[in-house]
Amino acid sequence: MLWGLDKNLFWRQLLFWLIGVVFFLLLKTISARRVFLPKKRVYLLILLFLALPLLFGRVVRGSSRWLEIGIFSIQPSELVKPFLIGVFASFLANGVSNFKNFLALILLIFLPVFLVLVQPDLGSAAIVLVTLLSLVFIAKPNLVWWLPLIVGLGLILLLAGNRIFEPYQLDRITSFLNPEQDPLGKGYNLIQAKLAIGAGGWSGRGFGLGRQTQLSFLPEKQTDFIFASLAEELGFFGVLFTLWFYLLFFNWLIKKIALSENGFWFFLRSGIFLQIFLQTAINLAMNLQLFPVVGVPLPFLSYGGSSLFSTFLALGLFL
């Protein structure tokens, strides 16, 4: 798909693939349990890494998410995801024994989420929040303990929602319900994505022949909306093949989770599964106008070195 969209992007992404595979193979040989043994130090390093874009980051479209390292730009909010999961797998390996531990875990979740949210990166913040809260829930704490958290979050969103979210983020949330209300502004991306998907028909317009895609009507065609690009050029059968691949992939992950030797491995593998699954589901839902546009890449397909590299790191730790 990237070859048909932009050959320069293809070669850059191929380089990211090669680097990712090398680190994947390296991490496979290292015990993840040993990596996360000094869990408090790893957690503090993650917080420091997430704070760097706010201090030294490159500002792109009003967001300070990237760090410049030589010829590369890296996105810390993507790279830390598997390591945050590993840290919380260590914390949760023995379960949640009391309310004090539960509150401490919730606080430890919200610190990195806050640092990602203020960059601002709503998509990554949402995925990290849901993934880590799900892991805590799987650890089976007392259900009553969740009530103060739910009430507190509800009050924060009600009273300070406008201050937490950027205006364009609120526009994205409201516009996905009715994009036709502002077809050339807030709803443009979603309308163009639907047109591209619908234009694909059964077998697609042909590789490199998508009108919405090739004539640049479809925004972010190589990242957020690469699924719409694929649907237009390869059609229903191309989409079916892609979803079949994801089905096999997630089925393989679930089988590995079932073979986990202890609590640490169960939480680590479950978290990595949830992270990649959520990313896939949210991206597909964005393209189909079932979810607001929050800038979440499609694993393995979207252009972006940090996202791809993070996926390979996660799978290396998973194995």
Per-residue pLDDT tens over the stretch 192-211: 999 999 999 999 998 888 88
DSSP SS3 for 210: coil
How much of the chain exceeds pLDDT 90, in percent? 54
What's the pLDDT tens digit per position in 208-219? 888 888 888 888
What's the DSSP call for residue 183?
T
Q: Residue 202: how many CB atoms within 10 A of its CB?
A: 8
**Pairing assessment for the beta strands 63-69 and 72-74 based on DSSP bridges:** antiparallel
d(CA 184, CA 297): 23
DSSP SS3 for 68: strand
d(CA 219, CA 227): 12
What's the pLDDT tens digit per position in 207-251? 888 888 888 888 888 999 999 999 999 999 999 999 999 999 999
d(CA 293, CA 302): 15
Instruction: Give residue 115's pLDDT band: very low, low, confident or very high (50, 70, 90).
Output: very high
pTM (two decimals): 0.90
Instruction: Give residue 162's pLDDT band: very low, low, confident or very high (50, 70, 90).
Output: low
- Cβ-in-10-Å burial (0-12, 13-18, 19+) of 20 comes to buried
Q: What mean pLDDT comes out for the span 53-75?
A: 76
Range of the domain at 74: 2-318
Which amino acid, residue 182? Answer: D
Cα–Cα nearest to 275, from 255, 258, 295, 250: 250
Tally of domains within the chain:
1
Q: Which helix (H) or strand (E) holds 154?
A: helix 146-164
Distant-in-sequence, close-in-space partners of 260: CB < 8 Å, separation ≥ 6: 266, 269
